[in-house]
Structure 1
Amino acid sequence: MTTSTDTPKQSFRLSMLIYDSRYRAMTIQIVALMAAMLGAGWLINNTLSNLAALGQSFDFGFFGETAGYDINQRLIDYTSQDTHLRAAVIGLLNTLLIAVMGCVLATVLGVLIGVMRLSPNWLLSRLMTGYVELFRNVPVLLWIVFSMAVLIETLPAPNAFRGDNATASMILFDHVALTNRGVYMPEPLFSRGLGDLSVFGAFGISLDLVALLAVLAAGLFIARAIGRRATRIQVETGLRPTVWYTQLAVIVLPVLAALVALGFYLGTPELKGFNFKGGIHMRNSLIALWLALSLYTASFIAEIVRSGIVAVSKGQTEAASALGLRPNLTMRLVVLPQALRIIIPPMISQYLNLTKNSSLAIAVGYMDITGTLGGITMNQTGRELECVMLLMLVYLVISLSISGAMNWYNNRVKLVER
């Protein structure tokens, strides 16, 4: 007869936190976290002590003070008598504007250039290679300054549009003027507008724009539902009904009806005195920054697109050709959808770089968040710590938002393994 005995459990000892592999990793992490917290606490306490010694406090009351400076390019109303908070919001909107415009144009150019780099046409592929090497090997600041100089030196002055002896003329049915002070284009106006909605007592939002966006969003939602229904029918029957004209109608027709109901018309810029009045004025600083950042970033996106396409097996292209697909359809329907899983992750970094590079806008006088909050406001108020911390927080939030949106899209388009 045999008896079995259980191995007695070893009691816990403090030495196990160091010598036992089951606890050592957690111990190291806790010690590192405590050290980081102590370091941060010492840094904060030292900063507050130094501020107190200088007779300063850490607060954001300066946001309620009068800014006292003008901002030439803005999306909402602003005067020099407004507060520093409104000036910071104007700068933030300018930063978001250049980031969105730059990402869109850089993506379009980058995809086209990346595809053309793989063209069998020797001259076209070499030209695109030259473009990529030229733009990505020169600092973006130089391209910004160079673009500004080209716009100023090559475009005519507003006086060149005056009288019978004018040496320049407006384009697009005399609605757009290209000058060395910027581009003047028609402004959308409404004769039966809904007015503005006051938000927080300071920032007005156009109800006309809100109504149009709501109608457009509803149209896009319905068009998406129609597309899903067509996909469901295709899965069930093998035949996909033609619905593109229906989708186009539910998007365009309601928007046109809303424009007619609001009395939409275009306010054309006119030459009065020494400059154009009325319409939308895109200053050269905005255009130069937009073009330079877009062309510079497009050279990197082109290489990302080219490498993603090359990574797709050639058998996919050969199979598509065997099915009778033309080269452009093969690229759009077969190659690019598979290359997206390789293209999107590094493209996120390029979007982030473009957004952060927009902080160089002060070189051409474009007032973004760095020029307002991190520039004039900081110099006037002397609140360098508060301004720099807020500026860092703004760019952090923008970057995380871009990363989150692109990662969501990447998860939507990635291949699902069986």
Structure 2
Amino acid sequence: MPAKPHPLIASRPPPPDNRRTAYIWRNRALQLVVLAIIGLLVWYLIGNTLANMRARGAHAGFDFLLDPAGFEISEGLFGYESGQPFWRAFLVGLGNTVRVALSSIVVCTVLGTLLGIGRLSRNFLLRSLCTAYVELVRNVPILLQLLMWYFVLSDMLPTSDEALSPLPGLFLSKSGLVFPVPASPLSWIYAGAGLLLGVTASFLHLRRASRVLSDSGRQLPRVWPVVLMVCGGIALGYALGGLIGDTGWAFDLPEKSEINISGGAAVTPEFLAVFLGLSTYTAAFVAEVVRAGVQSVQHGQLEAARALGLGRVQQLRLVILPQAMRVILPSLTNQYLNLTKNSSLAVAVGYPDLVSIANTSLNQTGRAFECVAIIMAVYVSLSILTALFMHRFNRRADLKGLA
């Protein structure tokens, strides 16, 4: 009979695995060497290209960014004048790209989720309509769809003096969409702060609901508290901004005259064309991602949910979607990246995004290499940031303990 080990000896931790430690440090060293080689190769190629350009008498370098641009930009999030430098023009183009990409991501996510769930509906008409939309939209090139939307908005809509008014205070015409805005500039700032406060409170509430569900099995309401917190935060911020501002809580309402529409804020037909094109096109792919994710959930999970007496909405919200997110999120990240890169096609309809600003700057300065390098750097940065955010969200949404 073998002797039992001494208690002190048995409680000692196992000796460190020196071979594994050496293997890890060797891999890290090899990665650093490869990274250094790639960096040197890139530096050599850039230096060689710039030297050849100087030898041929072509100007090289990014010093042109400090020169006056000398051209106008039709719209932008930031104030801009033609006498301002090129770097500010690129900043305006970047803001326009981010604005149309973020708004399209929100809309395509909501629309694509509804279409994906609709494709699995028991209702034959709803299922057929969703299927027809997906098959039609995703098989037509995005450029053609952008041109189609621009044609509809710029040619088929009435002029400003006969603008359509789908809702009170909204006017849609060839000049774009005009809508009311708060008269006090402070209202925008405080409303944004209220939105941030509402999102923070919603995040804390969702964490608490998850903790309560894990500890006691009690299901706290999630949707309505989040909606109330976000809307309440925006309303509170707007109320504070109106209380502090000179104009109070008044709105700048657009008014239609015999010539044009005055007042309010407006978005151009170019923005609407890009926004609608990207949203509707990407929504078709998001619908397929959602449908595949829902169908990946094992049928036994659905049967268990039915045995517990859960309704169809509860089955979808509490059982199906949480497990389907493991399949949906990685593919959804690819669709967000594709949407951001497809926004570069906005130049085809005259929307002043980053590519459009870079093309105009290239024609005025002749700095082709520098302008293309800026475009590449910006899109690579946006793609990496999107991928990192979605990867972090994917890790948080992953269900631990499931194969």
The TM-score normalised by the length of structure 2 is 0.83
Q: Which one-letter code corresponds to 1:79 in the other structure?
A: E
Distance apart, 1:312 and its partner CA: 0.6
Report the equivalent of 1:52. 54
| Equivalent residues in 2 for 1:14-413, closer than 5 Å | 39-40=41-42, 42-161=44-163, 169-173=164-168, 175-190=169-184, 209-226=188-205, 228-229=207-208, 239=218, 252-253=231-232, 255-261=234-240, 262=242, 263-272=248-257, 274-372=259-357, 374-413=358-397
Q: Which one-letter code corresponds to 1:385 in the other structure?
A: F
Deviations 1:128-153 (A, max 9, x none): 22211111111100000011112223
The structure-2 alpha-carbon separation of the partners of 1:86 and 1:226, relative to structure 1 and needing over 3 Å to count, comes to same
Distance apart, 1:337 and its partner CA: 0.9
Question: C-alpha distance in 2, partners of 1:370/1:293?
Answer: 16
Contact 2:326 2:398 in 1 (8 A): yes
Q: Which one-letter code corresponds to 2:272 in the other structure?
A: I
Contact 2:68 2:83 in 1 (8 A): yes
The structure-2 alpha-carbon separation of the partners of 1:340 and 1:241, relative to structure 1 and needing over 3 Å to count, comes to closer
Deviations 1:371-393 (A, max 9, x none): 00x21011111111111111100
The structure-2 alpha-carbon separation of the partners of 1:278 and 1:62, relative to structure 1 and needing over 3 Å to count, comes to farther
Structure 1 gaps of 5+ residues are 1-23, 162-168, 195-207
Cα-Cα RMSD: 3.0
Q: Rg bigger for which structure? A: 1
Q: Which one-letter code corresponds to 1:125 in the other structure?
A: R
Report the equivalent of 1:415. 399
Deviations 1:220-265 (A, max 9, x none): 4345445545655566665567798877666555543442333232
Mean alpha-carbon deviation: is it higher for 117-126 or for 400-409?
117-126
Report the equivalent of 2:245. none
The structure-2 alpha-carbon separation of the partners of 1:306 and 1:226, relative to structure 1 and needing over 3 Å to count, comes to closer
Report the equivalent of 2:9. none
The structure-2 alpha-carbon separation of the partners of 1:153 and 1:107, relative to structure 1 and needing over 3 Å to count, comes to same
Structure 2 gaps of 5+ residues are 1-25, 243-247
Question: C-alpha distance in 2, partners of 1:299/1:154?
Answer: 25
The structure-2 alpha-carbon separation of the partners of 1:412 and 1:126, relative to structure 1 and needing over 3 Å to count, comes to same
Q: Which one-letter code corresponds to 2:376 in the other structure?
A: M
Distance apart, 1:187 and its partner CA: 2.0
Total equivalences in the alignment:
371
Distance apart, 1:154 and its partner CA: 2.8
Question: C-alpha distance in 2, partners of 1:53/1:118?
Answer: 63
SS at match of 1:324: coil
The TM-score normalised by the length of structure 1 is 0.80
The structure-2 alpha-carbon separation of the partners of 1:55 and 1:288, relative to structure 1 and needing over 3 Å to count, comes to same
Deviations 1:291-322 (A, max 9, x none): 11111111111111111111111111112122
Question: C-alpha distance in 1, partners of 2:101/2:365?
Answer: 28
SS at match of 2:166: coil
Report the equivalent of 1:17. none
The structure-2 alpha-carbon separation of the partners of 1:94 and 1:119, relative to structure 1 and needing over 3 Å to count, comes to same
Q: Which one-letter code corresponds to 1:218 in the other structure?
A: L
SS at match of 1:264: coil
Contact 2:161 2:257 in 1 (8 A): no
Distance apart, 1:397 and its partner CA: 0.5
Identity %: 39
Contact 2:180 2:253 in 1 (8 A): yes
Mean alpha-carbon deviation: is it higher for 282-291 or for 391-400?
282-291
Question: C-alpha distance in 1, partners of 2:372/2:314?
Answer: 50
Q: Which one-letter code corresponds to 2:369 in the other structure?
A: L
SS at match of 2:250: strand
SS at match of 1:183: strand
Question: C-alpha distance in 2, partners of 1:259/1:112?
Answer: 31
Distance apart, 1:82 and its partner CA: 2.2
Question: C-alpha distance in 2, partners of 1:287/1:254?
Answer: 28
The structure-2 alpha-carbon separation of the partners of 1:311 and 1:282, relative to structure 1 and needing over 3 Å to count, comes to same
Deviations 1:91-140 (A, max 9, x none): 10100011101111111111111111111222322222221111111110
Deviations 1:9-68 (A, max 9, x none): xxxxxxxxxxxxxxx999998997787566545523431321221334432221222222
